[in-house]
Amino acid sequence: MISLLSFGPDGWGRLILSATLTTLLLSFSALLVGAVVGSGVAAAKLSSHRAVRWLGESYSVIFRGIPELLVIYLFYFGGSGLITQIGQLFGADGFIEAPPFLIGALAIGLISGSYQAEVYRAARLALAKGEIEAAVAIGMPRWRIRQRILLPQVARYALPGLSNVWQMSLKDSALVSVTGIVELMRASQIAAGSTRDYFSFYLVGGACYLLLTLLSNRAFLRAESRLGRAWQSRTAAQH
């Protein structure tokens, strides 16, 4: 078993490791895409225009209600089909595949965005109105308020929710394996199929994901306590 995971020419260790890196990169890219999209959707949901709010709600309902696998199929096969058609216009021949990493990150990112939208929206609503009013009262310009008051607080409130969303993206990235990209799930599949030792390699793959999840949790908890330190020290001083 250990030999199977070794880093030598016979061992699968190297593949698993590089695949894990791919998984991390994929998930992180998805998180970034989701952050951009999520902020937009959150803003839409908080807007005063009913039509805009409706758009935001629809996005949420759609991307939280459709199986992730279907979304990936849409982007991968649909994207490939589109690119192939465009290629044919330019005289290219045969099937052109959409870049799996980009497609995967996009698909998972859009899904992640719908969940991140909820997180940002809740975080924004949690912000006490008084803090903004105080800033307005002293004549702080809107952009400064956003930078100095809004963003830091929203970040602090959003962190726990983001921890969950990150975990989700990590796990959803496994689904991108259907596009053929060699991330952790696909690597486990390849190794398992090649050695016929399915149980061991899927177990190892699962354990790697678990490790990533646990380490992420720890990192987020540390970030949360760091950000919350300003508040903690205040209450500590009061006792």
Partner 1 sequence: MIDFAFLSDTFLKLSAALPVTLGLFISAFLCGGVLAVGILALSAFARGYILVFRGSPLMIQLFLIYYGLGQFGVIRHSVFWPFLREPFTCAVLALSLCTAAYTAEILRGALLAVPPGQVEAGMACGMSRGLLLRRIIAPVMLRYALPAYSTEAILLVKSTALASLVTVWDVTGVAQQIIQRTYRTMEVFLCAAAIYLILNFIIVQLYALLERRLTPVHKAEKKPSPAAKRLSPEENKHV
Residues that bind partner 1 (CB under 8 A): 61-62, 64-70, 73-74, 77-78, 81, 167, 170-175, 177-178, 185, 188-189, 192, 196-199, 202-203, 205-206, 209-210, 213-214
Q: Can you list the positions of beta strands (E) in the chain?
A: none
For the CB of residue 67, give the shortest distance to partner 1 in the complex, in Å. 4
User: In terms of CB distance, is 150 or 204 closer to partner 1?
Assistant: 204
For the CB of residue 198, give the shortest distance to partner 1 in the complex, in Å. 4
Rounded to an integer, what distance in angstroms lies between the CA atom of residue 34 and that of residue 40?
A: 10
User: In terms of CB distance, is 47 or 217 closer to partner 1?
Assistant: 217
For the CB of residue 147, give the shortest distance to partner 1 in the complex, in Å. 34
User: In terms of CB distance, is 47 or 167 closer to partner 1?
Assistant: 167
Give whole-number Cα distances, 199 to 105, 202, 204, in Å.
28, 5, 9
User: In terms of CB distance, is 62 or 125 closer to partner 1?
Assistant: 62
Rounded to an integer, what distance in angstroms lies between the CA atom of residue 53 and that of residue 35?
A: 18
For the CB of residue 184, give the shortest distance to partner 1 in the complex, in Å. 9
| Interacting residues of 93 by C-beta distance below 8 A, sequence separation 6+ | none
User: In terms of CB distance, is 39 or 189 closer to partner 1?
Assistant: 189
For the CB of residue 54, give the shortest distance to partner 1 in the complex, in Å. 16
For the CB of residue 227, give the shortest distance to partner 1 in the complex, in Å. 24
Tokens 């540390």 found at: 222
Backbone angles phi, psi at 46, to 5 degrees: -95, 0
Of the candidates 4, 20, 3, 2, which has an alpha carbon nearest to the alpha carbon of residue 194? 4
For the CB of residue 129, give the shortest distance to partner 1 in the complex, in Å. 26
Are the C-beta atoms of residues 56 and 45 closer than 8 Å to each other? Answer: yes
User: In terms of CB distance, is 43 or 190 closer to partner 1?
Assistant: 190
HEC letters along 24-86: HHHHHHHHHHHHHHHHHHHHHHCCCCHHHHHHHHHHHHHHHHCCHHHHHHHHHHHHHHHHHHH
Rounded to an integer, what distance in angstroms lies between the CA atom of residue 64 and that of residue 59?
A: 8
User: In terms of CB distance, is 86 or 151 closer to partner 1?
Assistant: 86
